Structure 1
Amino acid sequence: MRERMPFRRIGVEDAQGLLTQGALVLDVRDADSFRRARIDGAHNVSTFNLSTVIETTPKNKPVLIYCYHGNASQEYARILSDFGFLDVYSLDGGYEAWRETLRASPGVPLDDAVRLWLAENGFPAGGVNAAIDNGSTPLMKASHKGRCDIVRRLIATGAELGLKNNDGNNALWLACVGAHLDVIDALVEAGVDINNRNDNGATSLMYASSTGKAPVVERLLLAGADIAVETLDGFSALDMAATVECLTLLRAAARLRDAGAATLAAGHRA
């Protein structure tokens, strides 16, 4: 009989330290809650895809699990412990505790440049996650304007990457609107959801493709954007390509994807 490896319950402060160690972060809330806001870098897991996580994750990799309030995460933690995972943690208080802690302690204090920028753009003092016109947050507005310096400072002070505006778009979409490649890089580096789908099911890659922004398409593809995602009407980024340059980039990405799938299938048959 396999020996149970007990999981541990930890608070937000310890969880933040765990993230610096490269822990795998699993969000076991419902998909809509996950899309709206989450811990940066988290993966949404349910009973439907948990087996994949168990099969593909090294047993010695630290795993942090959180839910809404810290109850369901303990059940998932027990399962991983039963399967031999050595370093499993359940976040006490869940995402609500995480959010409240960040709200009370935003991390790096706001510097004068950020305070001034917030005031100039109509945001309340210290409101790094405040929403104004169309649900736009400071991170979204700074991304749209190409202020990479402000974007990086906002992220450092606790700006939430998972927030969306009233159309369901995140900060990455706004960076793509302005074709600000440095901002795109900063957001991807910080863990933004590169495949976020808005209210129409469209991703940033689809937007860039449909507007002929080839450099943005290339940057998103290099960052791992999924070309297979479709809108609610069934259109992909490849279907929407507005220029030859975008079409060429997306076709090349599709060929690489298909070649990888064929190699994987051949390996399974061998």
Structure 2
Amino acid sequence: MSILPKITPTDLQQRLQRGEIVLIDIREPSEYAREHIHGARLVPLAAIDSHDFDTERNKVAVFTCRSGNRTAMNASRLLAKGFREAYVLDGGLDAWKSAGLPVHFNAEAPLDLQRQVQITAGGMALLGAILAWLVSPWFIALSGFVGAGLMMAGMTGFCGMARLLAAMPWNRKFLSA
């Protein structure tokens, strides 16, 4: 497993100001639409291609995500994109904000899909438990259905609920951007 060296938020900010670095945000479009570092270029990990960087190979690349974990777990894949030098933002966007550095925030953008799935699945499981207690024990099946769906999503990488939520009107304009 390859490891990307880390760069601190303050070091990154200084190097961004000098134009030495290309900052690549590997999160999904819905995450980026809500909040990102000024000057970060969105190149989602799911669709990343080495040709995305043909004109920037002479620069140093810094890859970032929300916490740095997604970037670290995909280090070898990111290193294969042909940059002469590459780093991961230590602590990701969370560390950048903790350092008091500016971000672009769009309050009109929806929460990222993962959080929407967590809220919806948690709400459905809780509703099933409450209805089973108050109305009929058969409503426990709703909680079981949600749990089974989450297990299948984890095992297969396909989340039907995420696909359904992505098609909702509040997500469409941000996911297609």
In terms of fraction of residues, the more strand-rich structure is: 2
Q: 1:88 aligns with which of 86, 89, 99?
A: 86
For residues 40 and 81 of structure 1, do their structure 2 counterparts lie closer, same or farther at Cα, with a shift above 3 Å needed?
same
Per-residue deviation at 1:71?
Answer: 1.6
Shift of 1:63: 0.9
1:201 offset after TM fit, Å? 6.5
Task: Output aligned runs, 1:72-151, within 5 Å.
Answer: 72-102=70-100
Q: Distance in 2 between matches of 1:6 and 1:30?
A: 22
SS at match of 1:78: helix
Q: 1:202 to 1:69 in 2, by over 3 A?
A: closer
* 1:56 equivalent in structure 2: 54
- TM-score w.r.t. the length of structure 1 is 0.36
Say how many residue pairs are matched. 116
CA distance 1:97–1:51, change in 2 (3 Å): same
- CA deviations on 1:83-132 (whole Å, 9 max, x unpaired) are 43112110111111111111xxx6xxxxxxxxxxxxxxxxxxxxxxxxxx
- Return structure 1 stretches of 4+ with deviation > 6 angstroms: 200-203
Aligned partner of 2:105 among 143, 150, 163: 163
| Secondary structure of 1:13's aligned partner | helix
Counterpart in the other structure of 2:13: 16
Q: TM-score, normalised by structure 2?
A: 0.52
Counterpart of 1:258 in structure 2 is none
Counterparts of 2:173 and 2:82, CA distance in 1: 39
Once the two structures are superposed, what CA deviation does each residue of 1:18-75 show, in whole Å capped at 9, x if it has no partner?
2123221111222222111100111222244311555524322111111121122124
Against the structure 1 CA distance between its residues 164 and 96, is the aligned structure 2 distance closer, same or farther, given a 3 Å change threshold?
Answer: same
- Counterpart mapping for 1:148-227 below 5 A: 158=102, 160=103, 162-165=104-107, 167-168=108-109, 199=170
Q: Is there any run of 5+ residues in structure 2 with no aligned partner, and where?
A: 110-168
Greater RCO, 1 or 2 (C-alpha within 8 Å, sep 6+): 2
Query: After superposition, what is the alpha-carbon deviation per residue over 1:200-222, rounded to whole angstroms, capped at 9, x for unaligned?
Result: 9779xxxxxxxxxxxxxxxxxxx
Q: Which residue of 2 aligns with 1:179?
A: none
Secondary structure at the aligned position of 1:60 is classed as coil
CA distance in 2 between counterparts of 1:100 and 1:65 reads 18
Unaligned runs of 5+ in 1: 107-157, 169-197, 204-228, 231-270
